[in-house]
Structure 1
Amino acid sequence: MTFGILGPVCVRVGGQQLGALSGKQSAVLASLLLSVNTTVSRDCLIASLWANPPSSAVPNLHTYVAQLRKALPTGTRLFTRGPGYLLQAGTEEVDLLTFDQEIRLARLEAERGEAEAAVERFERALALWRGQPAEGTPLEGDLLARVTEVEERRTQARLDYAEVKLVLGPRQEIIEDLRRLLAEQPLRERAWYLLILALARAGQRDKALDAYRRARDVLVAELGVEPGKDLQQLQAMVLGGDLPPTVPGPRAGGICQLPPDIADFVGRRGELSAAIKALRLGRGKATTSATAGTAGTAGTPTPATVPLCVISGQGGVGKTALAVHIAHHVRRDFPDGQLYINLRGGENRPTDPEEALGRFLRALGVDSATDPAGLDQRAELYRGTLANGRYLVVLDDAADEGQLYPLLPGTPGCAVLITSRHRLTALPAARTIDLPVMPSGEALELLRHLIGADRAAEAPSDADMLVRLCGGLPLAVRIAGAKLAARPHEGLDQLVIRLSDTRSRLDQLSHGSQAVRASLAVGYQGLTSPARRLFRLLGLLEASDFAAWAAAALLDIPHAEAEDLIGELVEVRLLDVAGRDPSGQARFRFHDLTRVYARECAEADEPENEQSAAVRRALGAWLALTRQAHVRLCGGDYRLLHGRSPLWSPGSEIVELHLRDPLAWVDAERAGVVAAVGQCASLGLDELCWELASSAMHLFETRCFYDEWRVTQQTALSCVRDAGNLRGEAAVLNGLGGLFLAQDENLRGGEVLEDSLRLFAKVGDWYGHALALVNMAELHRVEGRYPAALACYGEAADGLAEAGDRGSEIAVLRGIGQIHFNQGRHAAARPYIERAVEQAGSVGDVRARQFARILLGEIQLAQDEPAAAEQSFAQALTFFADLGFPRGTAYASLGLASAKLALRLFGDAEHLLGEALATYRSVDERLGEARVLFVWAELHRSRRRLDEAATVLETVVAICQGIPAPRRQGLALRALGDVRREAGDLAAAIGAWQKASTVLETISPSECEEIAVLLERHANQVH
C-alpha cells in the first residue's frame, strides 16, 4: 500500500488506486500525510478543514476520520493519540517521504563530488511529482500553508538539481529549465545566478550580461534593492572573462519551510528595503560556542544580538505576503535554512509555543522519539540546534510577546521576521514596520497584474474606483481582481456598481477561500466582550474620525474606561490612530471596509433600541460639547437658542481635556459636527439637528469655516421643515441669514431673515425674534439704511434685555455706535463703543471686546488720535492672531495699517495691508477686500502715486457695487473724485463726486453735504 500527496491525494494497493475520497476526507488524509509519523492535534486538523470553523467542528472531524478509516485498506496504521491522530508509514510508502529522502541523498552525493549519481537521484525525486501537492483537495488555513511549504521544497530541489548539472557542463536544457522557473518566480536571485553562470559557461556572454540586467531591473522595480553581492561579483567575473569554478548556494542539507513567493508582488519598496537591512544585520558569523544558544530558558531568551524585524498592520493589509517576499529575497544570507510557522495569533486558539517548537525541531532533523516534553526543554534544544548556524525564522501572525519568546534563537547568526496584528512593543531592539494600506498607485498596479493591463486601461475610471472602494487593502484588491479574472465577460463597471452598495460590499469581497469579512472577523472574535460591543456601536457613527469621548457616550461609561477599550481596538488594528487634535488628544478612524463590518456586526448583534439609544447619546454628546465650546468662546450662554434635546453629560474630565481651547475643539470636530448634523437629519431627530447646527454657528464663523456653516444650516433646514418644526426653522433661517451677511450675499440674507422674524413671531419666541432682529439691523446698516437699522437695534435691545442676553447686547451697542460713526458723528459714536468694550470685558466675550476695540481705534483715528488708535488696533491684532480668527486678524491688521498711514509709516502700513488683503481673499470676503483696497489707495495717494490710487479706487467701486455696499461705494467715489482733482482732471473729479452724492444721498446726509460743498466750490472752475 502506498500514499500519494505530490499531486492529487491517492491511495494504491497492489498497484491499483482506490476510489476517490470526499473533499473533507481527502483534506484529513492530506493533513496526516504532510505530517506523517507525527501526531497531528485535533485543533490543527480543524484549522486545515475550515478557515472559519463551525460550532460543530469537533464532531464533524470525528465523523470524517471515521469515514476515512472505513475507506482505507485494512492494516492502515491510523491511530488516535490523545487529542489528535497519527498516521504511520515507511519512507517507501509515501511519495513525499521518498522525495525528501532522495533529495537529501542527492545533496550528500553532490557534496562528495558524485555529480552524475546526484543528478540521477534528483531526477528520480522530481519525477515523483504528479502536479500540485494535494491537487483537487479543498485547501484551507493550515493545510494551505503546509502545501506551500512542500512546493517550496520542490523549488529548492529544482535549483540544486540545476546546480549539480552545471558541474557536468553547460547544457541548453539547464538554461531552459531555469528560464521556466524564473518565469514563475522572477525574484529568485539564486535562479538568476545559475542562469547567468550557465549562459556564460555556454559561451553566451552577451546573453549572460543581459540576464544580469533583467535580474537587476526586476529586483529594483519590485523590491527597490540592488542585486546581492554574489550576483554583482558574478557579473564582474563575466565581464572579466574569469568564471567561478564552483557555484555558491545554500549549504547542502539547508531546509526551507517558506511558502512560495508572491509572483505578482508589487509596491512596498520602503518597507522591503527597511526589513532587508534589518535582517542583514545578522549576516556575520554565528557564535562559535556550542553553549551560546542554550543560555536562556523559554521565558528568558537572549535575543538582543539577534536581529528582529516586526511587520504589524491590520488584517488583509499584506503582512504575510510581504514577510514571505522578504524571506525569499534574503534566503542566501541564511544558508542553513529558513523556518516558517503560522502562529494563528488572531484566532481563538493561537498555536502553542511548545507545539511550534516541536514542529521546528522535527524540521531540523530531531527525531520525534528524542524530542523532549515541556516548553523549557524544547526551547533549550531548539536554541542549541540553531546555535552554530545561520537560520532565518519567520513567525507569522503572532499573538503576543509571550508566544514569541520561546521561539527566538539565541545567537547572532540567526534573524527573526515576525508578523502580527499587534504592535509587539515589548520585544527588545526590534525593528518595527507599521504596514499601512496600499497607496492608490500601488493598489492600481496590483489590480493591473491581476486582470491584465489592457483590461484595466479599457476602463481607467472604473479601475480607479475599484481601488478606492477596496480602501487600498491588498486582500480586497486581490479578491476583486480574482473575481474579474474569473469573469472575463464582465466589465469593471459591474463590479463597481455591486461594491458601491455598502450593505453588500463585504459579500462581494469574497472569492474562493479568501474573504475580507473573515479576515476582519479574526480580530473581532479575539476582543473582550465590552470591546466587541464598542466596535459594533462605533460602526454606527457617520463621523469619519472621533475622539475617545464618543466611545464613552456610546457605552455610557467613564472616559478612562472608554480609552482602555479603544486601546484594545487599536491594538488589533480594528481602529487606526488618525492623529492628534490641537489639544493633544488622540483621534481614531475606521478603515472603510472595517466600518462596513462593524455596522454589519451592530445590525446583527445589537437590538434596534440599543443601537438607537447609543447613537442618540453620542449625538447628544456632540451637542453638549459644541454648546460648551460656544459658551467658552462667547463668555456665556449668549446668542444661542436652546431646544428640548436630551444631552449626554460629558463630565468635567472630558470638558477639560477637549475644551480648554474652544477653537481647537472646532478645528478637530468640524467634520464630526457636519457628520453628526447629517446623521441627526437622517434619523429624523429634528430638534437635535437644528440645535447642533445653531450651536456650531459662531464657532464656524470665527474660523471662517463657511462651507461647514452652510452645509449644517441647510441640512438642518430640510430636516426641521420635513418635521414641521417652526421654531427650529426660524432658528436655522436666522443662522443662514448670518452666513449670507458674512459672505456679502445681502439679498438672500434679507429674504431668510424676514422669514425667520415671521416664524419667531408666529411661535411667540421673542428671544429668538430679538436675535434675528440683530442680524436684520446689521443688514440695514451695511446697506446704509440707517433709520431702519436703528429701529431694529432698538426693538432687539428690549427682547435681549428681557432674556438677560448681555452678550448679544454688545452687538447692539457696537452697531449703533457704527451708524453714528458712519454718519460722521464721532463724538456720539464713542460712548456706545466704549460701553461695548466695557460690557464685553465684564461678560467675558473677549472676541466681541476686540471687535469693539477696533471700532474704538477707528473713532480715535477720526478724532486725530493716531497713537491711541495704533494701541487699540495692536491689542486687537495680538488677540485675534493668538485666537486664530482670520477675519478678526485681517480687520485688526487693516486698522493698524490705517494708524501707521496716519503716522506716515508707509512701509509698515503696506506690509499690514498686504497681510490683511491676503487673509480676506483666502476667506472670500469681498467687503473686507474692498476696505483694504480703500486704505491702499490712501497709501498711494500719500506717496503721490495718483494713477495707482485711482485704479485701486475704481476696483473698490466695482466690488462695492456688486456686493452691494452703498456707503463704501459712495466713499470710494468721493475719494476717487479727490484723487482726480489732485491729478488735475477736475471734470473727472466732479463726475465722481456727483456719483458719490447720488449714492450717499439717502444713507449718509452729512457725508452727502460735504460732497455738495465740493461740487459747489469747483463748479465754476469747470466752466
Structure 2
Amino acid sequence: MTAGDRSVQVGGARQRAILALLILSPGRVVPVDTLVDVVWNGKPPATARTQVAICVAALRKTFKAEGAGDDVIVTVHPGYLLNTKEHDVDWVDFATLVGEAEQDARDGRLAEAAQSYARALALWRGPALSGVMGRPVEDEAGRLEEYRLNAFDDSTAVQLALGHHHEVAPELAAVVREHPLRERTLGHLMLALYRSGRRAEAMEAFRRVRKQFIDELGLEPGPDLQNLHDAILQDDPSLDAPKSAAPAPAAGAGSTAAEPRVVPSELPPDIPGFIGRAGELRGLDTLVSEDGGTSGPRVGLITGVAGVGKTGLAVRWAHRVHDRFPDGRLYAEMRGYDGHHTPTEAGDVLSRFLRSLGVPSDQVPPGLEERTALYRSLLAGRRMLIVLDNVRSYTQVKDLLPGVGECCVVITSREQLEELVTWPPQARVHLGVLSEKQAVDLLGAIVGESRLAGTPSEAVALAQLCDRLPLALRIAAARLASKPHWTVRHMVDRLRCERNRLDELSQGESQVRASLELSYRYLCPNAAHLYRSLGLLTAPDFAAWAAAALLDIEVRAAEGLIEQLVDAQFLEVVGIDATGHMRYRFQNLLRLYAGECAEREESEEQRWSARDRLFRTYLTLAEEAHRREYGGDYSVLHGSTVRRPLAPALTDALLVAPLEWFEAERLSLRTVIDQGAELGMDELVWDLTVSMAVLFETRNYIEDWRLCAERALAATRASGNLRGQATMLTDLGAVELRLRNLPLTAVRLEEALALHIEVGERHGEALTLRNLAIHDRMQGDLDTAMRRLEVAREIFQEVGDRSSEAHTMNNMAQIELDLGRPEAAVRHGLEAVRLSESTGRGGARGVAQSTHRLARAYLALGRAEQAQEAFLRVVHIVKEKSDMVGLSHALLGLGEARLLAGAGQQALDTLTDALDIASRISSPLVEGQINLAIGEALRSLGRSGAEEYLSAAQAIFDRIGARPWQERAALAVRSPGGRAGS
C-alpha cells in the first residue's frame, strides 16, 4: 500500500487479510461473516467478529495517519466496503488500462494500445497479495497473476505488430524461463528471435520447451507452436516483420471496376441534445469490435420502459458507426406500440428493404419465404446496418435477421424478446432512467443553460418530477422553452401536484400518458389488474407477497404476474432484501398512471377491499414479527382490527429473521400508516405503530417512530379513539425519553397515563408508569421512580407480561446501583435474567437487556471476570440482531470490565470500537459515556490524550442536558489526578 510516493506498512496477518479481501471487492460490501471465515480458515473463535472490528479500526487509524481521512473503509450492513471513488486500487486501474488497450488494438490504434499496456504492466511491483494467507486470497492472487500474464502476451502481440521484435526479445526470454509451459509466450519469443535474425535460438527455445512438455505432461506442444516451428524452418514469408501499408492502387488501366451497388442510407436524423448513455454505447460498440467470437451477423437489443430513449440511443449509435457499414444502413419503424396502426409485418418490411437494395418492384417475390431468401442472399456479401425500431415480438423480426455475412442488426423493444439471441452478449442493453446530472443536462440542452443557472435546486426538482425519463424531460423542457415568461419554479409547481402531473406531460404530439396507454393495452387481463391495483399504494417498493394480498391470490401466481410487468417494463427490480426476497418498484409516472387506471376501471369498493387486505396482511406480519422477537405478546397493546390469516409456511418464510423483515418493509410500513390514517383506519394504524416499536428501538429509527406515532395519534383523535390515543401518547413519550427531552416526556406520559386509567387499560397504565419511572430517575427522583416501578411490576405480573416485568426489574437494579447498593442490584438483575429467559427463544432481546444490567452490577462490585462474561454474552446476542444501539452499550461495558481486569490496551481497543459504532447511530448519550470512559482509561493508564475525550464527553452531556453525566464529566475534567468515580 502506498500514500503518495511512500510505502505504508500494514501490521499483522489478520489486518493484511482483511484489507486484501476489501481490495479484491472494490466498491462492494464484504460481509463480516466472509472476513471471519477467511481470516480463521473456517474455524473462528467466539470473538472473531469483534476481532474483525478491531482490525478494521486499526486499518482506519493507519489510513488516517497517512492523511487518507475516515472514508477509506466504510461500514455498510452487513460488513465493510472499500471506498474506490476517492482512493485508487492498482488492480482496478490495471483492468481499466488493459480494457483501453484492447479497444485501441481492435480499432487499429497500435501505438496507443502499446502505451496503455505499458502503463498497466508498470503498476505491478511484484506478486499480487504477497504475504497474505487464506485460500480465497491465494486463489485471487493466482487469478490476478494469470490476468497479468495474459495482458503481457497481448502487449507483446501489439509490440510485434509494430515491428519491435528486438526490444521485446529479452523480456520474453525471462518470462518463458519463469513460465515455460505458456505456449503463446513461447510463440512470441520464437517469432521475435526469428525476426531478429536469431533463427537457431528460436529453434533451440522450441526444442527445450518441447522436451519439458513431454517430460512433465506427456504431451507435445499445441498445433500453433508446431506450425510456427515448421514455418520458421521454411522461412515462411508470412513471418516477416510488418511493413508500412502500401497505398491502394488507383483505378485505371488493368483494373476491373466493381459493379455499382445501391447504398441505402435510411437512418432518421441524429437526436439533438443527446445526453449520457456512455456505458450503453460501449455495450453496442461490441457489435463492431474485431473480437466478437463469430464471423456471422451481429445482433443487439435495446430494451426499456416507454419514453426512456431507446430509439434515441439506437439512432445515435448508428450515426456514430455509420462509416463501418459501407454497403448501407436500413431502418424500419415496426410500430409495435402504435395507437393508430397495427404492428408492421415482416413481409411489408422485406418488400421495402428489397427495393432499397436495388431490386425492381416487379421483381420482389410475392411470398414471405421467397422474400426472406432473396433478402438474405443480397445481404450475404455486404456489410450493412439494419435498425428495427419499436419491435413488439420476436415473430416480427425473425425473418429480417441476416443469415450469414458481416451485417449488424439493432432492435429496440419494450419487451425482453427472450427468443432473440444477441451477439455479443454485451449488446443486450437495458436502458434505465438518466442520472440526476444527465437529466439536468438534458433540460439545459433544450431550455438553455442560462435559464437553469440561477435555480439549480429547482432544475433538480424538475428532473425528479419527470422521473429522469428522457421523454418526460423533453416535454417539460419544450414547454419551458416555448414559454420564456415561465420560471423553472413555475414548471415545478405545475408538476408537483400528482393529480395533474400526467396532464402537464401529455400535451401536444409527445404525450407520456398516451405512450403508457399503448403498453398497458397489451397486458393480459390479470397482469393489468395487478398493475392498476399496485397503483393504489404509495409504498416505495414491495415484495411478491404484497402483490398477492392485493389480488387475494397465491404468492407464486403473483410472482408470475409481476414478471410479466417487469418484462413489459412497468416494474423494475430493486434487488433482494434482507429476508432474501425480491423487491420491485414503480417509476413515479408509471405509478400515477396505474392509479388513474384503478380509478377508471375499479369500483370504490374494489379499491377499498384491495387496500384493506394488504394493510391487514401487514398488521398480521408485524404483530407476529414482534411476537417472535419478544418471545410473546409482551410490551405491547393491540387494537381490534381483524388480522388477515396467512398460511403458516408463508409466515415462516417471511419471518425467519423478524427484525430483517421489519428492516426490509420499514419504508413501506410508514406509507401504510400514512395511507391508513388518510382512509380513517385509525385502529389499524396505531396497532401497526406499536408493533413496529421493536424495530424503532433496536435500530434507533427514532424519527420514524415519532412520525408514525404522530400520524396515528392524529387519526385516533379525529375518530375519538381514547385507547389508541393513550397508546400513541405512551409511544411519543418513549420517543422524547430517547431524545432526552424530559419536559415533553413528562407531558406526553402524564396525558397517556390519565387516558389509560380513564378507559381501564391496566397494561397500558403499567407501560406508561415504567417510562415515567425512567424519566423520574433521569431527573434524580429515585424514590418516586422506585414506587412507580413497584406498581408497574405488580400490573405486569397481573397481565402476564414477563418481558416488561423483566425490564422493570432491570430499572430497579439500576436504581439500586444509583443508591450505591450493588448487591441488591445483582439480586434484581438475576431475577430479570430469569424472567427474560423464561420467555423462550424469541426473548433474546430481553435477555440481552437483563444481562447487561446484571453485568453493570457485577462491575460495581468489582467482579471483573463475571462482568466480562456477562457483557460478552450481550455482545453475542445484539450482534446477531444487528442491534447497533445495544452493541455500543455492550462494548462500553466490556471495555470498562477489561480495564478493571488490568487489560488496558484491550480495554482501549474495545472502547474505540464502541465509539466508532455510537458515532454512526446518532446516540449522543452513549457516545458521551464512551468518550468519558476512554478519557478516564487513558488517564488511569498514564497515557496522553485523555483531556480531549473528557472535553468531548462534557460537550455532549451539556448539549443534551444529561444532568448526572454532566456532573461526572465536569468532575473528571477538574480532577486530572484520577477518575471521577462512578
Partner of 1:711: 707
Task: Describe the shift of the 1:902–1:716 C-alpha distance in structure 2 as closer, same or farther (beyond 3 A).
Answer: same
Task: Describe the shift of the 1:329–1:842 C-alpha distance in structure 2 as closer, same or farther (beyond 3 A).
Answer: same
CA distance in 1, matches of 2:505, 2:403: 42
Q: Is the 8 A contact 2:379 2:405 kept in 1?
A: no
Does residue 1:765 correspond to 2:761, yes or no?
A: yes
Q: Is the 8 A contact 1:547 1:588 kept in 2?
A: yes
CA distance in 1, matches of 2:288, 2:646: 48
Q: How far has the Cα of 1:452 moved from its partner?
A: 2.8
Bigger mean CA deviation after superposition, 890-899 or 327-336: 327-336
| 1:929-954 deviation line (CA, Å, top 9, x unaligned) | 23223322331232235x96567556
Bigger mean CA deviation after superposition, 761-770 or 642-651: 642-651
Q: How far has the Cα of 1:925 moved from its partner?
A: 2.3
523, 529, 537: which one aligns with 1:533: 529
CA distance in 2, matches of 1:269, 1:951: 49
Q: How far has the Cα of 1:719 moved from its partner?
A: 1.7
Matches within 5 A, 1:802-841: 802-841=798-837
Does residue 1:389 correspond to 2:382, yes or no?
A: yes
CA distance in 1, matches of 2:311, 2:677: 43
Partner of 1:852: 850
| 1:65-117 deviation line (CA, Å, top 9, x unaligned) | xxxxxxxxxxxxxxxxxxxxxxxxxxxxxxxxxxxxxxxxxxxxxxxxxxxxx
Q: How far has the Cα of 1:576 moved from its partner?
A: 1.2
257, 267, 283: which one aligns with 1:258: 267
Q: How far has the Cα of 1:716 moved from its partner?
A: 1.4
TM-score under structure 1 length normalisation: 0.67
Partner of 2:513: 517
Partner of 1:635: 631
Task: Describe the shift of the 1:368–1:762 C-alpha distance in structure 2 as closer, same or farther (beyond 3 A).
Answer: same
Matches within 5 A, 1:568-717: 568-717=564-713
Q: Is the 8 A contact 2:305 2:414 kept in 1?
A: yes
853, 863, 866: which one aligns with 2:864: 866
Q: How far has the Cα of 1:448 moved from its partner?
A: 2.3
CA distance in 1, matches of 2:773, 2:455: 56
Q: Is the 8 A contact 1:666 1:700 kept in 2?
A: no
CA distance in 2, matches of 1:249, 1:920: 79
Partner of 2:543: 547
Does residue 1:316 correspond to 2:307, yes or no?
A: yes
CA distance in 2, matches of 1:652, 1:850: 28
Does residue 1:380 correspond to 2:373, yes or no?
A: yes
Partner of 1:76: none
CA distance in 2, matches of 1:652, 1:332: 63
Q: Secondary structure at the match of 1:579?
A: strand
Q: How far has the Cα of 1:442 moved from its partner?
A: 2.0
Sequence identity (%): 38
CA distance in 2, matches of 1:250, 1:458: 60
Q: Is the 8 A contact 1:282 1:413 kept in 2?
A: no
747, 762, 771: which one aligns with 1:751: 747
CA distance in 2, matches of 1:949, 1:281: 65
Partner of 1:734: 730
Structure 1: gaps (5+ residues): 1-239, 285-302, 984-988, 997-1006, 1008-1023
Q: How far has the Cα of 1:869 moved from its partner?
A: 1.6
Does residue 1:343 correspond to 2:341, yes or no?
A: no
Q: Is the 8 A contact 1:279 1:308 kept in 2?
A: no
Task: Describe the shift of the 1:375–1:789 C-alpha distance in structure 2 as closer, same or farther (beyond 3 A).
Answer: farther
387, 399, 406: which one aligns with 2:392: 399
CA distance in 2, matches of 1:453, 1:954: 49
Partner of 1:416: 409
Partner of 1:236: none
Residue type matched to 2:631 in 1?
Answer: G
Q: How far has the Cα of 1:387 moved from its partner?
A: 1.2
838, 842, 859: which one aligns with 1:842: 838
Q: Secondary structure at the match of 1:504?
A: helix
Task: Describe the shift of the 1:508–1:670 C-alpha distance in structure 2 as closer, same or farther (beyond 3 A).
Answer: same
262, 274, 284: which one aligns with 1:275: 284
Matches within 5 A, 1:351-370: 351-370=344-363
Task: Describe the shift of the 1:454–1:922 C-alpha distance in structure 2 as closer, same or farther (beyond 3 A).
Answer: closer
Q: Is the 8 A contact 1:549 1:650 kept in 2?
A: no
Task: Describe the shift of the 1:490–1:751 C-alpha distance in structure 2 as closer, same or farther (beyond 3 A).
Answer: closer
876, 880, 887: which one aligns with 1:878: 876
| 1:888-926 deviation line (CA, Å, top 9, x unaligned) | 101110111011101222111112112222322333323
Q: How far has the Cα of 1:727 moved from its partner?
A: 0.8
4+ residue segments displaced more than 6 Å: 242-246, 248-251
Residue type matched to 1:358 in 2?
Answer: S
Residue type matched to 1:359 in 2?
Answer: R
Task: Describe the shift of the 1:849–1:337 C-alpha distance in structure 2 as closer, same or farther (beyond 3 A).
Answer: same
| 1:742-773 deviation line (CA, Å, top 9, x unaligned) | 22222221211111110111111111111111
| 1:439-476 deviation line (CA, Å, top 9, x unaligned) | 22222222222223333335544433322221111111
CA distance in 2, matches of 1:249, 1:694: 83
| 1:114-161 deviation line (CA, Å, top 9, x unaligned) | xxxxxxxxxxxxxxxxxxxxxxxxxxxxxxxxxxxxxxxxxxxxxxxx
Q: Is the 8 A contact 1:282 1:415 kept in 2?
A: no
Q: How far has the Cα of 1:956 moved from its partner?
A: 4.6
Task: Describe the shift of the 1:379–1:766 C-alpha distance in structure 2 as closer, same or farther (beyond 3 A).
Answer: same
Structure with the greater alpha carbon radius of gyration:
1
Task: Describe the shift of the 1:250–1:683 C-alpha distance in structure 2 as closer, same or farther (beyond 3 A).
Answer: farther
| 1:404-460 deviation line (CA, Å, top 9, x unaligned) | 322211114111111111223443344211111112222222222222333333554
| 1:639-678 deviation line (CA, Å, top 9, x unaligned) | 1111112333343344233321122122222211111111
Does residue 1:560 correspond to 2:541, yes or no?
A: no
Q: How far has the Cα of 1:378 moved from its partner?
A: 3.4
Matches within 5 A, 1:165-564: 252-281=261-290, 305-346=296-337, 349-428=342-421, 429=423, 430=425, 431-457=427-453, 459-564=455-560
Q: How far has the Cα of 1:479 moved from its partner?
A: 1.3
TM-score under structure 2 length normalisation: 0.70
Partner of 2:180: none
CA distance in 1, matches of 2:641, 2:270: 59
Q: Is the 8 A contact 2:295 2:406 kept in 1?
A: no
CA RMSD, 1 decimal: 2.9
Q: Is the 8 A contact 1:311 1:433 kept in 2?
A: yes
Partner of 2:922: 924
CA distance in 1, matches of 2:449, 2:729: 53
CA distance in 2, matches of 1:654, 1:354: 50
Structure 2: gaps (5+ residues): 1-244, 252-256
Does residue 1:910 correspond to 2:908, yes or no?
A: yes
Q: Is the 8 A contact 2:263 2:357 kept in 1?
A: no
Does residue 1:787 correspond to 2:780, yes or no?
A: no
Task: Describe the shift of the 1:251–1:752 C-alpha distance in structure 2 as closer, same or farther (beyond 3 A).
Answer: farther
Q: Is the 8 A contact 1:345 1:399 kept in 2?
A: yes
Residue type matched to 1:880 in 2?
Answer: V
Q: Is the 8 A contact 2:663 2:695 kept in 1?
A: no
CA distance in 2, matches of 1:502, 1:763: 41
Q: Secondary structure at the match of 2:415?
A: coil
Q: Is the 8 A contact 2:911 2:934 kept in 1?
A: yes
| 1:499-528 deviation line (CA, Å, top 9, x unaligned) | 222212111113432101111112111101
- Residue-pair matches, total: 726
CA distance in 2, matches of 1:493, 1:960: 43
| 1:521-559 deviation line (CA, Å, top 9, x unaligned) | 121111011111111111111111111122111111111
Q: Secondary structure at the match of 1:587?
A: strand
Task: Describe the shift of the 1:458–1:852 C-alpha distance in structure 2 as closer, same or farther (beyond 3 A).
Answer: closer
Q: Is the 8 A contact 2:696 2:705 kept in 1?
A: yes
Task: Describe the shift of the 1:439–1:962 C-alpha distance in structure 2 as closer, same or farther (beyond 3 A).
Answer: closer
